[in-house]
Structure 1
Amino acid sequence: MKKRLLFALVSMLLMLAVSACSGDSGAKNTGGSSGSGKEITVWAWDPNFNIAALQLAKEKYEAKHPDVKVNIVEYAQNDIVQKLNTGLNSGTTKGLPNIVLIEDYRAQNFLQAYPDAFRDMSDVIKPADFAEYKIGPTSLDGKQYGVPFDSGATGLYVRTDYLKQAGFTVDDLTNIDWNRYIEIGKKVKEKTGKDMLTQDPNDLGLIRMMAQSAGTWYLKDDGKTPNLADNPVIKEALETYKALFDANIVKMNSDWSQFLAAINNGDVATVPTGNWITPSIKAEASQSGKWAVVPTPRLANSKESVNASSLGGSSWYVLNMDGQDTAANFLAETFGSDAELYSQMLDKVGVIGSLKAASSGDAYDKSDDFFNGQKIYADFAKWTEEVPKVNYGLHTYAIEDILVVEVQNYLNGKDVDSVIRDAQAQAESQLQ
């Protein structure tokens, strides 16, 4: 009798434990539950940036909500894309996280392909609180699904010592167009022997920067229709890109490590790219005091082009599954509103967020000795608000796969009109 009672008691305890563990989870490999507490899992990539920022948010949130456990799982970005597609295609959220980080260029693919998979966050964050250009890729049909995260705002990093040798100052490169940039680049190369920039011709990030500076993209505003052949901005971006190579001011690279090596070895005079490159530039301590950052050059003939653009950037999404309200609250109280947290992320990780309120924090107002005392984070925060809004749509990378081949043909002698006409035809054939 005692054995039967003991067995029944153990069975009841096991059932209660299982019930407590499953009540607010839905994540894979979450590592156990805290009794009656709540548990959520977040997927992201890059341990030194996104994961590090998540850790700060986790610590702050768990201190305020001791009944919640936030599990952080690191995967490579491509692995996240594959796992997310596989899981959502199966029609079940089993094994998927409560929160996932998605690159802005890819966001619409997920939102439109799986319209019921993500939680509408309109009730917990205010889109107006974030940089306007981040709202396009993170929303759909008037609903705000993503919580905008890091700013991909670009700048032109310049070696002030090389400019001085060539007879130029930082002001000479401030708020210029790409044609003037090329002219200065030729003189810098002549006087110093240094190339103006390093570029992998298979990476079209520079063309993306040029297009967005003019409020234009590879796709029309519907985010689906290819917009290449009759797009004067894309044509000018391609012509400008080729002009950089024709001017003999580009140091070729073939991968990320060679890109960084060209910068850290002192082989180039400028680096036009996203603000996320700052820690990599500062990694070469011997160059401290020799750098400055100015606004990104604009296209010379496209009237809408401004001295601001974006490259990269990502946002957080909550999946429609058990635990979604806890997940939504975590994002609302951290990345969705906490300016102090963003100051910590900037100070400790180098994250420039797209939350408008964060740009007024003390961390943004600090001068940086590496950049000769310049308040570069305050500058990037200002440029973030000036980035034109575009619809990245569904096919950014699919079109780039086509353009990479055509750009090689262009650099090897094919005329630009044929390039964009042929790219348009291929895009229409493959994507519609």
Structure 2
Amino acid sequence: MKKISWFALIGMLLMVFLAACSGNDETSSGEDGSSSDDQITLKFVHWINDDVGKWESLIAKYEEENPNVKIESMPLVENMNSEDYFKQLDLMASAGEKMDLVMFSNMNDWVKRIDAGLVAPINEYLDAEGIDINEVYNNTYPAIDGNYYGLPMKNVTNLVMINKQHLDEAGLEIPTEWTWEDYQKYAEQLTTDDHYGSYLHSWHNTHSSLKLLSKPENTMILKEDGSSNADDPMLKASLELRNQLENADKTSVPFTEILSQKLDYRQQFFSGEASMIPIASYMITEWGQFTPDFEIAWAPWPKNSADDEAYSAMGGDLVSVAQNSEHKQEAYDFMRWLTTEGIVEQGVWVPSWKEADLDTVLEKLASGTENPDAIDMESLKNALTSVQPSKSFAPPSYVTEAYTEFDAEVELYLLGEQDLETTMQNIQEKVQAVVDANQ
């Protein structure tokens, strides 16, 4: 019996050894126990629907070139509203759901999620590839404590979008260089019984900070060192300008209507309800459900005075690798392709990638829209190239809290519930209180 048991044991061990060898010949195991030859799925969360982003065809191209990778495009909202998207993103993150790539529309929301531990640094991948991110891309989001947390995708420039038909009817030229005083005059001349000359949305960090954004630096509610910037004279002048347009001149859609009717800025412009909107260059193609039946003119971001140099805030969407991703290298590889060859192939946005040719890119963007003739190309090129970028920096995470305090006071002012002096005093006190509580 002992002899039979011994041979049986030898046979079992031999079978196990041969099976192990056979397995190693076929595949090699990864750290998570999965085969390296297995197809992996990367979950890419964002807010851009496929009609605009053309993700399906773009992803198909990448998957064809990388058959072991499947990209799952996950737009978290249907309305392409980034504010709603971030709410859904936070719910997803708090539930511990797996994700691999996360798209951000602005630096403020990006910094907040870095502090929350949502995204991972990518320095090791940049170093392994041997690239200097600032030499490859325009408008790179700044490093935080020496770490980079993503790659810029779009190059987004602030500008003014104008209904050219309304300009022609009013006998006005497309502005090639102008001031906020000029904007105010244009709004007055463009306003008719049928439409307003201007529309300023409920984004107080832009549409209630118009003149602040025309400066070469310190364009936010906080300065680079985290201190308050609420006492900047251009912030007060911005509120005064908006109130003048909406409540005195009555040439811009009143804030009361924006809130009570829950107005959408795309609807207001493309339906002809408003002639001008200070916006950013993502609107070259991001028309949503609308197809303009008029030509769109583009003007550079207005200056505070005629003698000033022309500046514009520049930034753009950024893609980050999620901290809880189990496939960070593959996520980085897709992110690099998406922010270079991919975004050019996509033909939807102006890339941050420096090697992209602007003329070719803009022609492709226009040709990919529902109405290519709607884009006045000459004025668009001027609006993008005639301004210098204002200095950008990564604000502290409490900038969101500071803007929340700012927003509340601005709304009271625009609704006529408190005067400008009280508003500015409250803003300065409350923003300083946020700074004090976080430093």
How big is the shift at 1:304? Answer: 6.4
Deviation at 1:232, TM superposition (A): 2.1
Distance 2:382 2:31 in 1: 42
> Relative to structure 1, is the Cα distance of residues 189 and 37 closer, same or farther in structure 2, using a 3 angstrom cutoff?
closer
Tell me: CA distance 1:344–1:36, structure 2 relative to 1, closer, same or farther (3 Å).
closer
Equivalent pairs: percent with the same residue?
Answer: 16
Query: Could you tell me which residue of structure 2 aligns to residue 387 of structure 1?
Result: 389
> Once the 2 structures are TM-superposed, how far is the Cα of residue 146 of structure 1 from its aligned partner?
1.1
The separation in 1 between residues aligned to 2:272 and 2:93, in whole angstroms, is 40
- Report the Cα distance in structure 2 between the residues aligned to 1:24 and 1:256, rounded to whole angstroms: 50
SS in structure 1 of the partner of residue 54 of structure 2: helix
Could you tell me which residue of structure 2 aligns to residue 149 of structure 1? Answer: 153
For the residues of structure 1 that align with 2:240 and 2:278, how far apart are their CA atoms? 17
Mapping for residues 175-214 of structure 1, pairs under 5 Å: 175-189=177-191, 194-201=195-202, 203-208=204-209, 210-214=211-215
Secondary structure of 1:292 counterpart:
strand
Which runs of structure 2 are paired with 1:194-343 in the superposition (5 Å)? 194-201=195-202, 203-208=204-209, 210-214=211-215, 215=217, 216-222=219-225, 224-228=226-230, 230-245=231-246, 246-252=248-254, 253-254=258-259, 258-279=264-285, 285=291, 287-288=293-294, 290-300=295-305, 306-310=310-314, 313-320=316-323, 321-335=325-339, 337-338=340-341, 341-343=342-344
* SS state at 1:164 partner: helix
Amino acid aligned to 1:343? V
The 1:372/1:205 distance shift into structure 2, 3 A limit, reads: closer
User: 2: CA distance between counterparts of 1:75 and 1:420?
Assistant: 37
Aligned 8 A contact 1:359 1:378 in 2: no
Contact persistence 2:187–2:276 (CA under 8 A): no
C-alpha displacement at 1:33, in angstroms? 8.4
How far apart, in 1, do the equivalents of 2:271 and 2:221 lie?
A: 34
Which structure has the greater CA radius of gyration?
Answer: 2
Residue type at the aligned position of 1:128? E
The superposition leaves residues 341-362 of structure 1 with CA deviations (integer Å, 9 ceiling, x where unpaired) of 333322xxx2222222224362
Separation in 2 of the partners of 1:151 and 1:140? 20
Give aligned pairs, total.
392
Distance 2:91 2:209 in 1: 24
Q: 1:147 to 1:281 in 2, by over 3 A?
A: closer
Unaligned runs of 5+ in 1: 27-31, 88-94
**Paired amino acid for 1:356:** K
Point out the more displaced range, 39-48 or 409-418. 409-418
Deviates more, 1:364-373 or 1:212-221: 364-373
Assess if the C-alpha contact under 8 Å between 2:223 and 2:229 holds in 1: yes
CA RMSD, 1 decimal: 3.8
Could you tell me how far apart the structure 2 residues matched to 1:21 and 1:225 are? 53
User: How far apart are residue 147 of structure 1 and its match?
Assistant: 0.5
Deviation digits for residues 144-166 of structure 1, max 9, x if unmatched? 22110123322212222322332
Counterpart Cα distance in 2 of 1:274 and 1:382 = 13
The aligned residue for residue 397 of structure 1 is 400
Q: What's the TM-score, normalizing by structure 2?
A: 0.75
Change in CA separation of 1:206 and 1:184 when aligned onto 2, cut-off 3 Å: same
Distance in structure 1 (CA, Å) of the matches to 2:278 and 2:298: 9
Specify the code of the residue in structure 2 equivalent to 1:423. Answer: I
Amino acid at match of 2:141: I
Which residue matches 1:353?
351
Shift of 1:178: 0.8
Secondary structure at the aligned position of 1:158 is classed as strand
Within the candidate set 164, 168, 171, 1:164 is matched to: 168
1:352 is aligned with what amino acid?
V
Partner residue in 1 for 2:138: 131
Q: Which residue of 2 aligns with 1:29?
A: none
In the superposition, relative to structure 1, how do residues 49 and 208 fare at CA in structure 2: closer, same or farther (>3 Å)?
farther
Deviations, residues 318-338 of structure 1 (Å, cap 9, x unaligned):
135532112212222331x32
Q: Distance in 2 between matches of 1:392 and 1:233?
A: 21
Letter in 2 for 1:358: A
Contact kept, 8 Å, 1:119 with 1:319, in 2: the verdict is: no
Shift of 1:38: 4.1
Q: What code does the residue aligned with 2:88 have? A: D
Distance 1:194 1:238, change over 3 A: same
Is 1:40–1:69's contact at 8 Å kept on the other side of the alignment? yes
Per-residue Cα deviation, 1:51-81 (whole angstroms, up to 9, x for no partner): 534x455333322222223333332422113
Match of 2:5 in 1: none
TM-score (structure 1 length as normaliser): 0.76
CA contact (8 A) 1:24 1:39 kept: no
Map 1:404-415 to 2 at 5 A: 404-411=407-414, 412=416, 414-415=418-419
In structure 2, the gaps of 5 or more residues are: 1-7, 78-84
- Alignment correspondent of 1:92: none
